[in-house]
Protein backbone atom coordinates (compact mmCIF):
# COMPACT_ATOMS: atom_id res chain seq x y z
CA UNK A 1 0.00 0.00 0.00
CA UNK A 2 1.32 3.46 -0.87
CA UNK A 3 1.12 6.52 1.35
CA UNK A 4 -1.21 9.08 -0.18
CA UNK A 5 -1.33 12.82 0.54
CA UNK A 6 -1.29 13.43 4.29
CA UNK A 7 -0.97 9.78 5.29
CA UNK A 8 2.03 8.37 7.11
CA UNK A 9 4.30 5.81 5.55
CA UNK A 10 2.85 2.32 5.35
CA UNK A 11 4.20 -0.11 7.94
CA UNK A 12 6.52 -2.85 6.73
CA UNK A 13 4.99 -6.29 6.34
CA UNK A 14 5.42 -7.88 9.80
CA UNK A 15 5.26 -11.33 8.22
CA UNK A 16 8.13 -10.57 5.83
CA UNK A 17 11.72 -11.79 6.05
CA UNK A 18 12.09 -13.87 9.26
CA UNK A 19 15.75 -12.80 9.57
CA UNK A 20 14.73 -9.17 10.11
CA UNK A 21 14.28 -8.50 13.84
CA UNK A 22 10.85 -7.22 14.87
CA UNK A 23 9.98 -4.78 17.64
CA UNK A 24 6.54 -4.47 19.27
CA UNK A 25 5.54 -0.85 19.85
CA UNK A 26 2.14 0.00 21.32
CA UNK A 27 0.68 -3.27 20.05
CA UNK A 28 2.11 -2.87 16.52
CA UNK A 29 5.10 -4.65 15.04
CA UNK A 30 7.91 -2.70 13.40
CA UNK A 31 10.59 -4.45 11.33
CA UNK A 32 14.14 -3.49 12.19
CA UNK A 33 16.14 -3.82 9.00
CA UNK A 34 19.80 -3.27 8.10
CA UNK A 35 19.23 0.48 7.91
CA UNK A 36 18.35 0.58 11.59
CA UNK A 37 15.24 1.70 13.41
CA UNK A 38 13.05 4.56 12.28
CA UNK A 39 13.24 7.55 14.62
CA UNK A 40 10.15 9.68 15.19
CA UNK A 41 11.37 13.27 15.56
CA UNK A 42 9.70 15.87 17.82
CA UNK A 43 7.88 17.36 14.84
CA UNK A 44 6.59 13.96 13.65
CA UNK A 45 9.05 13.62 10.79
CA UNK A 46 10.97 10.36 10.44
CA UNK A 47 14.70 9.71 10.26
CA UNK A 48 17.24 6.96 10.80
CA UNK A 49 20.46 6.59 12.79
CA UNK A 50 23.19 7.65 10.36
CA UNK A 51 25.96 5.57 11.93
CA UNK A 52 23.87 2.41 12.41
CA UNK A 53 26.25 0.26 10.37
CA UNK A 54 29.17 1.25 12.61
CA UNK A 55 27.51 0.33 15.93
CA UNK A 56 28.36 -2.86 17.78
CA UNK A 57 25.61 -5.41 18.42
CA UNK A 58 25.35 -4.25 22.05
CA UNK A 59 25.11 -0.59 20.97
CA UNK A 60 22.37 -1.51 18.51
CA UNK A 61 20.38 -3.33 21.19
CA UNK A 62 20.61 -0.38 23.58
CA UNK A 63 19.80 2.09 20.80
CA UNK A 64 16.76 0.08 19.69
CA UNK A 65 15.34 0.02 23.23
CA UNK A 66 15.93 3.74 23.76
CA UNK A 67 14.46 4.70 20.40
CA UNK A 68 11.41 2.49 20.91
CA UNK A 69 10.69 4.15 24.27
CA UNK A 70 11.33 7.66 22.93
CA UNK A 71 9.26 7.03 19.79
CA UNK A 72 6.31 5.85 21.92
CA UNK A 73 6.54 8.99 24.08
CA UNK A 74 6.81 11.28 21.07
CA UNK A 75 3.92 9.59 19.28
CA UNK A 76 1.77 9.95 22.38
CA UNK A 77 2.58 13.69 22.60
CA UNK A 78 1.92 14.19 18.88
CA UNK A 79 -1.42 12.35 19.10
CA UNK A 80 -2.44 14.39 22.15
CA UNK A 81 -1.53 17.61 20.33
CA UNK A 82 -3.54 16.49 17.29
CA UNK A 83 -6.55 15.63 19.49
CA UNK A 84 -6.36 19.09 21.08
CA UNK A 85 -6.39 20.72 17.65
CA UNK A 86 -9.29 18.56 16.49
CA UNK A 87 -11.42 19.42 19.50
CA UNK A 88 -10.65 23.17 19.38
Does the global pTM surpass 0.95? no
Query: What values do phi and psi take at 80, rounded to 5?
Result: -65, -45
Helix ranges (H only) for 1-88 are 57-87
What's the pLDDT at 10?
55
Give yes or no for residue 32 having a pLDDT over 80.
Answer: no
Among 1-15, 51-65, 71-85, the least confident range: 1-15
* E strands present in the chain: 22-25, 28-31, 38-40, 46-48
Residue 53: which pLDDT band, with cuts at 50, 70 and 90?
Answer: confident
What's the pLDDT at 3?
45
Q: Is 77 helix (H, G, I), strand (E, B) or coil?
A: helix
Give yes or no for residue 52 having a pLDDT over 60.
Answer: yes
Amino acid sequence: REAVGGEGLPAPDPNGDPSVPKLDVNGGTIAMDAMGPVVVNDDGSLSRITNWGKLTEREREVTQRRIAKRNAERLERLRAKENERASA
